[in-house]
Structure 1
Amino acid sequence: MEARLGLRRALYVSGFAIAFVLLAAALWWEKYYLPLSLLMLAAVMMPFWVRFERRSFHAESMVMIAVLSAIAAIGRVPFVSLPSVQPTSFVIIVSALVLGPEVGFIIGSVAAVVSNLFLGQGPWTPWQMFCWGMMGFTAGLLRHQGWMLQRWGKMAFGLIWGFVFGWIMNIWYLIGYFGELTWPVFASVYAASFYFDLAHALSNVFFLGLFAERWINILSRMKTKYGVLQDEWRHRM
């Protein structure tokens, strides 16, 4: 158990350490902002995917993860005419609240890739994978906190992440389309994105406020009835 836990921590720490070095390099060599930032994202996400690949899952667990990832991904498509308004973040958050942080990260990152098969892939895809993955990861980490068990806590979490998602996505836009990064450029980009960030945040509040408890109850019953992920967690411990 201790060896497994130590390996897990080492994997995560190594990924974030490499990401920090790449971030410092990106800030030092301005013309390499984009490739170094993509490598940084890969270094952060790799430990989660390595952990997921090394674990053994029952068929029921894999099916549930795949179905939730598909629902999160397809949820973007009907709302494409309403920028930043979609239930994808809602599905990722409630899935992480029931299934845990690592599965929340996987569902979030997979949802970004799959949905962009319909909406278009590009240099923004790794950033969306990271943002939705970390949204699921943090929701899973906080799922046992008292305030997160309350409806208002889930709504507040969705509200905050609606803005955080947009703020992180602004970074790829800045390094991808602006040769020189200055404070006025930063201010103009973040001001222009406020409406979209607000729309994302409010849509999260709407979906979480109305449907979170029902979805969590359904997913919890499925998890208990079919033993989804429970044997895998015991094996890991």
Structure 2
Amino acid sequence: MKVKRLTGILLLIACAAGIIFCGVTAFQDRRYNLISIIMVLFACVPFYYAYEKKDGNIRRMVVLAVMTAIAVVGRFIFVVLPGFKPVTAIVIIAGMYMGPEAGFLTGSLVAVISNMFFGQGPWTPFQMLAWGMTGMVAGLPGIRKALKKKWVLAIYGVITGFMYSAIMDIWTVLSMDGTFNWLRYGMALFTAIPVTIEYMVANVVFLMLGIGPIGTKLERIRIKHGIFDD
């Protein structure tokens, strides 16, 4: 991976975390819509920058929009099962075949768009960060290659299930009185174990079901049109 691209990705993570921190401290979670919009704008920058000198920008946007729509619809279909949803799995697959920038943007957009129906709130930026990082890491060259092995992909599904729960539990602690406490955080992680396990199982199940049909089509698009290359 080129140094400039890696620097951009690290800067994106730092900016996203910084934006959330400002939202929690300066705005006390009262401007979560503004924070969410700013995060989406920041997520768009590295995506466009990574492919600005290549052809096929419209194709890339269409594929990204389709993957985002699939994840949003998947969240609706499984609305009766709060912790058992295909969102994380779809974001991971998007990152694997579309690259880290597209993976982060897909994860961020899924949170914002789906919450227009599920309800926006101070938790939205945390969901954007959690799903965005999940897709971004899956898109890193060395990792995306390893994830082509199903047993590695299953392990990543388990790890990201825990990661999502851990990031959301940070918001859980902050929502109590606006301050972070390690003891409360530990208790939040402990009480969330059943839900965290549900996240893990859902990720593995949907990854195993989706990597074949969705992954194959994305790979064909990538090869045929020469988009989303490393």
| Post-superposition offset of 1:140 | 0.7
Q: Which residue of 2 aligns with 1:144?
A: 145
Q: Which residue of 1 aligns with 2:46?
A: 51
| Superposed counterparts of 1:91-170, under 5 Å | 91-141=90-140, 142-145=143-146, 148-170=147-169
Q: Which residue of 1 aligns with 2:88?
A: 89
Query: Which whole-Å deviations, capped at 9, do the CAs of 1:143-172 have from their partners, x for residues lacking one?
Result: 023xx2211100110111001100010111
| Post-superposition offset of 1:86 | 0.5
More displaced stretch, 39-48 vs 128-137:
39-48
Provide the TM-score with structure 2 as the length reference: 0.80
Q: Secondary structure at the match of 1:114?
A: helix
8 Å Cα contact 1:15-1:43 kept in structure 2: no
Q: Which residue of 1 aligns with 2:186?
A: 187
User: What letter is aligned with 1:143?
Assistant: R
| Post-superposition offset of 1:13 | 5.1
Q: Which residue of 2 aligns with 1:224?
A: 223
Q: Secondary structure at the match of 2:211?
A: helix
Cα pair distance change 1:166/1:103, threshold 3 Å = same
Whole-Å separation in 2 of the counterparts to 1:19 and 1:113: 14
8 Å Cα contact 2:28-2:178 kept in structure 1: no
Q: Secondary structure at the match of 1:221?
A: helix
Whole-Å separation in 2 of the counterparts to 1:161 and 1:120: 23
- Paired residues, what number? 220
Whole-Å separation in 2 of the counterparts to 1:22 and 1:219: 32
Whole-Å separation in 1 of the counterparts to 2:71 and 2:159: 19
Query: Which whole-Å deviations, capped at 9, do the CAs of 1:187-215 have from their partners, x for residues lacking one?
Result: 33222211111111100111112331332
Which blocks of at least 5 consecutive residues in structure 1 are unaligned? none
Whole-Å separation in 1 of the counterparts to 2:108 and 2:25: 27
Whole-Å separation in 1 of the counterparts to 2:135 and 2:127: 12
Whole-Å separation in 1 of the counterparts to 2:185 and 2:119: 26
Provide the TM-score with structure 1 as the length reference: 0.78
Q: Which residue of 1 aligns with 2:78?
A: 79
Whole-Å separation in 2 of the counterparts to 1:190 and 1:203: 18
Q: CA RMSD in A?
A: 3.2
8 Å Cα contact 1:11-1:47 kept in structure 2: no
Is residue 60 from structure 1 mapped to residue 59 from structure 2 by the alignment? yes
Whole-Å separation in 2 of the counterparts to 1:215 and 1:20: 30
8 Å Cα contact 1:77-1:118 kept in structure 2: no
8 Å Cα contact 1:76-1:87 kept in structure 2: yes
User: How much identity, in percent, do the aligned residues show?
Assistant: 32
Cα pair distance change 1:182/1:9, threshold 3 Å = closer
8 Å Cα contact 2:104-2:135 kept in structure 1: yes
8 Å Cα contact 1:100-1:137 kept in structure 2: yes
Q: Which residue of 1 aligns with 2:204?
A: 205
Cα pair distance change 1:191/1:32, threshold 3 Å = farther
Which blocks of at least 5 consecutive residues in structure 2 are unaligned? none
8 Å Cα contact 1:58-1:229 kept in structure 2: no
Cα pair distance change 1:65/1:14, threshold 3 Å = closer
